[in-house]
A and B are shown apart, each in its own frame.
Chain A
């Protein structure tokens, strides 16, 4: 936490965040801040606590200590769906889509309307919904597969679909866990393009291993190691940090 970061209005401020599993501290007194419209990439060796950080922000795991503030709102006490309503969207590491439903239905379910029981019963597939679904489908390269059952998509397409499901929620903070994992080179390129398009008006946190990909998209990079921030800054700065070199190359 640098001096300049104090007192400024951040989209997301994580402070003193700790979570322990039976005494093992997966995340240990972690603090970092994400700016408006910033693309932040979190990297780190396996077991550094990257996914756990995302789990903590979106409410999947409860923090033992510390605070997560999103636009001044404390997230640690909210339930998952309330955090989503506040404007945080999250993509999982393995594509998490509804395999039994069609692409259209996958996107439609993610459309932010009719989110309570009664609303879901009375939900109508009106023009607004259909237009929005088509718009997003176009964006994620799936406009020809709308009626396809999601289980039949390729791995890369599933990743895109999940990104699309987030986009249709129009979150202010988008969190992506390894969005290009398992993709072919061509798909990777398309994904980078897609991310560039969709990150325009929002803040994004990305977890990624692919350094080339990271260099392409990141504004700032945070390196996690053993649940703590090891280094933070631009890609160049981080790459030349001796501590980072030691962690990555030392074993």
Chain B
């Protein structure tokens, strides 16, 4: 299929395609990281994850409207404010949800799935009531649009770079928080032995609440970032849910590194297949391969062999 193209064309296309894969990878990581923290560390399945993301997107939309109304001259910087706000609002909502709902369900993981599904219905309707049933258009500052031409053929989308940067910052942040901070140590202690952690003076309730809220907060930032590449509507969150869960499960639920590795594998597979096949078939094949591998290796890509 490449006979009619020159070598330089092919090189640049493969470079671009690799870059497209990287963007998809960043998107997957952003989507999945919050869920991986909640699912992997707490065993809670948050079906409303997509709705938390969309909340972040709506916050971004509101912020952009506010800035264009009252602070036009600061508009180019609004996106950072929006992401911060998105994080804070979804973090707060997450804490509230944990307090009202999740904490009663820790011993029934499958039930968290059902209850959060109910939550997702409520949030969807809430968005519809408040923002209307239509998708809203989020205006981006000019510097985030367009691309940077590397060569004649290769154009690097600036918002793609931006998404990758956010992903990197958040991943590194989560890494330090989980593995280097005192707080992360407490979280891991609670995961491993709740009673013991409680006995040595860790406030397990607080750890749970903040872990859950943090997962939601990351979802909010992800949603905020996705206004650059996706749609913002009451039901947009539903679009992400299958992909997100598969990334987390495929990575091996308890391992954040696994989530990243799995996001990388799936995104590269999908973007490669999309290039050679039609989009729909690529999607089906990717999902089939992932499900197939999960059947052969249910523990996912990365998992610790632990002593029962």
Contact = CB atoms under 8 A, between A and B. Distances in A.
Does a CB–CB distance below 8 Å link A and B in the complex? yes
Interface of A: 21-22, 26, 52, 55, 60-61
A190 to B, nearest CB: 30
A61 B308 contact: yes
B305 A60 contact: no
5 contacts: A21-B305, A22-B304, A26-B307, A55-B308, A60-B308
A142 to B, nearest CB: 28
B305 A22 contact: yes
A151 to B, nearest CB: 15
Query: Which of A21, A52, A55 has the most B CB atoms < 10 Å from its CB?
Result: A21
B255 to A, nearest CB: 13
Q: Which applies to chain B's interface (DSSP): helix, strand, loop or mixed?
A: loop
Contacts, number: 10
B306 interface: yes
A225 to B, nearest CB: 17
A92 to B, nearest CB: 11
- 8 residue pairs, one from A and one from B, having the closest CB atoms: A21-B307, A21-B305, A22-B305, A26-B307, A22-B304, A21-B306, A61-B308, A60-B308
Contacts of A21: 305-307
A22 B306 CA distance: 8
Contacts of A26: 307
Interface residues of B, number: 5
Interface in B277-308: 304-308
Contacts of B308: 55, 60-61
A71 to B, nearest CB: 27
A55 B306 CA distance: 13
Given A21-B306, A26-B307, A60-B308, 4 more contacts: A21-B305, A22-B305, A52-B307, A61-B308
A60 B307 CA distance: 11
Interface of B: 304-308
Nearest to A24: B307
Nearest to B307: A21
B262 to A, nearest CB: 20
A113 B308 CA distance: 29
Greatest chain A CB density within 10 A among B304, B306, B307 is at: B307
Nearest to A19: B307
Contacts of B304: 22
A83 B201 CA distance: 43
B252 to A, nearest CB: 14
A26 B306 CA distance: 11
A77 B305 CA distance: 19
Nearest to B304: A22
A224 to B, nearest CB: 15
A238 to B, nearest CB: 26
B263 to A, nearest CB: 24
A37 to B, nearest CB: 31
Contacts of B307: 21, 26, 52
Nearest to A52: B307
A22 B305 CA distance: 7
A61 B305 CA distance: 11
A93 to B, nearest CB: 12
A108 B307 CA distance: 31
Nearest to A49: B307
Contacts of B305: 21-22
Contacts of A55: 308
A52 B308 CA distance: 9
A28 to B, nearest CB: 14
Contacts of A22: 304-305
A49 to B, nearest CB: 10
Contacts of A61: 308
B303 to A, nearest CB: 11
Contacts of A60: 308
B308 to A, nearest CB: 7
A26 B308 CA distance: 12
B228 to A, nearest CB: 41
Contacts of A52: 307
A60 B304 CA distance: 17
A52 B304 CA distance: 18
A136 to B, nearest CB: 29
A61 B308 CA distance: 8
A52 B306 CA distance: 12
Nearest to A26: B307
A108 B93 CA distance: 50
A152 to B, nearest CB: 20
B164 to A, nearest CB: 33
Nearest to A60: B308
Contacts of B306: 21
Nearest to B306: A21
Nearest to A21: B307
A55 B308 CA distance: 9
A22 B304 CA distance: 8
Nearest to A61: B308
A149 B307 CA distance: 32
A52 B307 CA distance: 9
A65 to B, nearest CB: 15
A69 B304 CA distance: 29
A90 to B, nearest CB: 14
